[in-house]
Structure 1
Amino acid sequence: MSPRRPGEDELIARFFRPLATAPGAARLMDDAATVPQIDGRELVVTTDAIVAGVHFFPDDPPDAIARKALRVNLSDLAAKGARPAGYLVTLALPRDWTVDWLEGFVEGLGLDQEEYGISLLGGDTVRTPGPLWVSVTALGHAREGHVPRRHGAAPGQRLYVTGTIGDAALGLRLRQDERLTIDWDLRRDEREWLLDRYLLPEPRLALADVVSAYATAAMDVSDGLAGDARKLAAASRAGALIDASQIPLSRAVRRAVNADPDALVSALTGGDDYELLVAIEPSDAEAFEAEAAAAGVAVADIGALVDGAEVVIEQAGRRLSLGAGSFSHF
């Protein structure tokens, strides 16, 4: 017999109140929370939702679902040069939810709260006749006047990305078709790398202060590098020229691309990387690279903003054809 499912008040008290460790959370016994002000820093707020069957598989482990929901928001904070201060979560549970599932979900949140030094501040729990969905609102503090927007770049500035690109997109394709493991000639560790990168993104919070210090514009890569580069360039009223050979790819993605050149299109246009795309003045490039290395985050110079309105990704001097260029919900 499965454990009795609690009502909403008991659900909040039993599962979520232990996560509300910050004084401003008021132990989730009020309708609002407070976030302490930090002198010389401004509050940054972001929100993202993830939906079963769209952003994750319904049979994914509940702790991984929770951590992904939180981390995609922490990634947005990192792109704005902000350190996280806390978060709110709204959880829409389908009719067949279980106590065991919810215990796993809050365990995942607890693990990331400890890792990133944050607290739950509040939120809501509701029932839904449709699929499970989770919405997180994350709050952080950034140095006042140093929050890099998408529109702050200009022609001549360099474009950098963190980490490696395309792992999550190919990980998703593997989840959808296991035969690709053979088609791409992947080793077991390479297959697991791609699957893990889709399931659990790595927000680049270690780079937040460096982004704040040097970025003229920044965003996280959530809908594909090609499309997100286009968004940043368009917001800055510029174009971009990107060298595909300089885009950092993991060993697993390189193996897949060597076996199937079309995999490169998936890698450059697929979503869920949650790496950072950053515009830097050429005069700051050396310092940016050095401080990123000191922070333990790999960065790669992939091209530059240029005059015009086109974003072009070239390979061996030839323009790549990338179709729509990015993931879109609509």
Structure 2
Amino acid sequence: MGEFDLIARYFKRPVRRGAALGIGDDCALLQPAPDTQLAISCDMLVQGRHFFADVNPHSLGHKSLAVNLSDLAACGAKPLAFTLALALPDANEPWLADFARGLFELADAHGCELVGGDTTAGPLNICITVFGEVPVVNGRSQALLRGGARAGDDLYVSGTLGDARLALNVLQGKLTVPAPVLLAARERLERPNPRVALGLALRGVASAAIDLSDGLMGDLGHILESSQMGATVQVDTLLQSIACYADSAHSGHHDGINLSLAQWRTLALAGGDDYELLFTAAPSQRAAVAAAAQASQTPVRCVGQIDANPGLRLLDAQGRVLPNHYASFDHFA
């Protein structure tokens, strides 16, 4: 099977929305709606760095697009289209069929069209560029950005944090957990749920937002740097969120997982691969945040506040200061 046969068989489909011209020419042509801006993001997944060689190809197709849709969610952008650049060691047809099925199931769920890309032989590498739409109202973009947090804002996270890192640690042989726990945690690692509906609902409500890909500590740091603010995080509110397998969030015994409280805190604060949303909003917007969470069917919790004082302060459930020694993921660190 040649390159163009591969594209035609597994990735070429009629364009249904968002593009005037899709796969088959030298360029795709996008047609954004009037009074909108294009939001564009690109992510690369490399075998051995971002996923294991034996990962289920259906799950990998899902995650490849999910991590990009998560960026659109953090910007409050509606998905429009994407391109796919795919390096393959060989044209394994069953693998390609499952990968394409996982990719397109998520794409169809969000109305996001594949409009072009490239294929080549080489080590398995998946690079997606995604395009979304953000309204412009009275000359002002409605995009959610990192630099809008203000002193006194509440700090929120969606979903649970640390589950993906828990699965990674188990798969790397660093931890042992009961099979049902690994199954649930691995689902979070390999099939993250991009919070697109929540991001859209937060337009005009949130003051700043980012998606959590490298761990809360590092990604919150990006908001604080862009906004020139500090923050106080109530760390143990995150543990209540991560303990979806637990009878008690503070016992250190979670469904047979014997971890210290410090280890659970590390998973929540520096785990990475969560693809949840971290966002800020003024206290006057608390009802609107609750409405956005309900409308998008996404669990959201307040985990701290934005401060005028520079720096990041961590407090436990009793209000005691915790040492800040958590590092987020960095490919070149």
Q: TM-score, normalised by structure 1?
A: 0.90
- SS of the aligned residue for 1:46 comes to strand
**How far apart, in 2, do the equivalents of 1:17 and 1:284 lie?**
44
When structure 1 is superposed on structure 2, of 71-80 and 143-152 the one drifting more is 143-152
**How far apart, in 1, do the equivalents of 2:264 and 2:18 lie?**
48
**How far apart, in 1, do the equivalents of 2:251 and 2:25 lie?**
51
Q: Which residue of 2 aligns with 1:211?
A: 202
Given the alignment of the two structures, is residue 174 of structure 1 paired with residue 185 of structure 2, yes or no? no
- SS of the aligned residue for 2:12 comes to helix
Alpha-carbon shift at residue 16 of structure 1 (Å): 1.1
Conservation of the 8 A alpha-carbon contact between 2:154 and 2:282: yes
Deviation track 1:193-226 (CA, whole Å, cap 9, x = no partner) reads: 1111001100011112222121111000000012
Structure 2 residues not aligned, in runs of 5+: none
- SS of the aligned residue for 1:278 comes to strand
When structure 1 is superposed on structure 2, of 320-329 and 224-233 the one drifting more is 320-329
Given the alignment of the two structures, is residue 99 of structure 1 paired with residue 89 of structure 2, yes or no? no
When structure 1 is superposed on structure 2, of 31-40 and 269-278 the one drifting more is 31-40
Kindly report structure 1 stretches of 4+ aligned residues shifted beyond 4 Å.
19-23, 253-257
Alpha-carbon shift at residue 26 of structure 1 (Å): 3.5
Q: Which residue of 2 aligns with 1:12?
A: 7
Alpha-carbon shift at residue 167 of structure 1 (Å): 0.8
Q: Which residue of 2 aligns with 1:157?
A: 153
Conservation of the 8 A alpha-carbon contact between 1:170 and 1:263: no
- SS of the aligned residue for 1:90 comes to strand
**1:256/1:11 Cα in 2 relative to 1: closer, same or farther (>3 Å)?**
farther
Conservation of the 8 A alpha-carbon contact between 1:78 and 1:203: yes
Q: Which residue of 2 aligns with 1:141?
A: 133
Q: CA RMSD in A?
A: 2.0
**How far apart, in 2, do the equivalents of 1:146 and 1:245 lie?**
33
Deviation track 1:36-57 (CA, whole Å, cap 9, x = no partner) reads: 2212322111111111111111
Deviation track 1:232-257 (CA, whole Å, cap 9, x = no partner) reads: 11111111100012222242374894
Alpha-carbon shift at residue 293 of structure 1 (Å): 1.4
**1:285/1:273 Cα in 2 relative to 1: closer, same or farther (>3 Å)?**
same
Given the alignment of the two structures, is residue 72 of structure 1 paired with residue 64 of structure 2, yes or no? no
Count of aligned pairs: 317
**1:47/1:19 Cα in 2 relative to 1: closer, same or farther (>3 Å)?**
farther
When structure 1 is superposed on structure 2, of 298-307 and 12-21 the one drifting more is 12-21
**How far apart, in 2, do the equivalents of 1:166 and 1:148 lie?**
24
**How far apart, in 2, do the equivalents of 1:93 and 1:256 lie?**
46
**Amino acid corresponding to residue 203 of structure 2 in structure 1:** S
Q: 2:183 aligns with which of 189, 192, 200?
A: 192
**1:257/1:53 Cα in 2 relative to 1: closer, same or farther (>3 Å)?**
farther
Q: 2:29 aligns with which of 15, 31, 34?
A: 34
**1:153/1:67 Cα in 2 relative to 1: closer, same or farther (>3 Å)?**
same
Alpha-carbon shift at residue 229 of structure 1 (Å): 1.1
Conservation of the 8 A alpha-carbon contact between 2:22 and 2:28: no
**How far apart, in 1, do the equivalents of 2:245 and 2:14 lie?**
36
Q: Which residue of 2 aligns with 1:227?
A: 218
Alpha-carbon shift at residue 152 of structure 1 (Å): 1.2
**Amino acid corresponding to residue 280 of structure 2 in structure 1:** A
Conservation of the 8 A alpha-carbon contact between 2:80 and 2:131: yes
**How far apart, in 2, do the equivalents of 1:97 and 1:264 lie?**
43
**How far apart, in 2, do the equivalents of 1:140 and 1:250 lie?**
34
Q: Which residue of 2 aligns with 1:302?
A: 303
**How far apart, in 2, do the equivalents of 1:175 and 1:256 lie?**
24
**Amino acid corresponding to residue 147 of structure 1 in structure 2:** A
**How far apart, in 1, do the equivalents of 2:295 and 2:25 lie?**
42
**How far apart, in 1, do the equivalents of 2:324 and 2:167 lie?**
19
- The structure that is helix-richer by fraction is 1
Q: Which residue of 2 aligns with 1:3?
A: none
**Amino acid corresponding to residue 259 of structure 2 in structure 1:** D
**How far apart, in 2, do the equivalents of 1:152 and 1:9 lie?**
45
Q: Which residue of 2 aligns with 1:290?
A: 291
Deviation track 1:82-129 (CA, whole Å, cap 9, x = no partner) reads: 1101111100112x441221121111112112222221010111122x
Alpha-carbon shift at residue 320 of structure 1 (Å): 2.9
Q: Which residue of 2 aligns with 1:89?
A: 84
Alpha-carbon shift at residue 190 of structure 1 (Å): 2.5
Deviation track 1:243-280 (CA, whole Å, cap 9, x = no partner) reads: 01222224237489443122321231011000000110
- SS of the aligned residue for 1:30 comes to coil
**How far apart, in 2, do the equivalents of 1:34 and 1:146 lie?**
24
When structure 1 is superposed on structure 2, of 250-259 and 63-72 the one drifting more is 250-259
**How far apart, in 2, do the equivalents of 1:22 and 1:12 lie?**
20
**How far apart, in 1, do the equivalents of 2:82 and 2:323 lie?**
40
**1:179/1:160 Cα in 2 relative to 1: closer, same or farther (>3 Å)?**
closer
**How far apart, in 2, do the equivalents of 1:251 and 1:208 lie?**
23
Conservation of the 8 A alpha-carbon contact between 2:235 and 2:265: no
Q: Percent identity?
A: 35
Structure 1 residues not aligned, in runs of 5+: 1-5
When structure 1 is superposed on structure 2, of 159-168 and 249-258 the one drifting more is 249-258
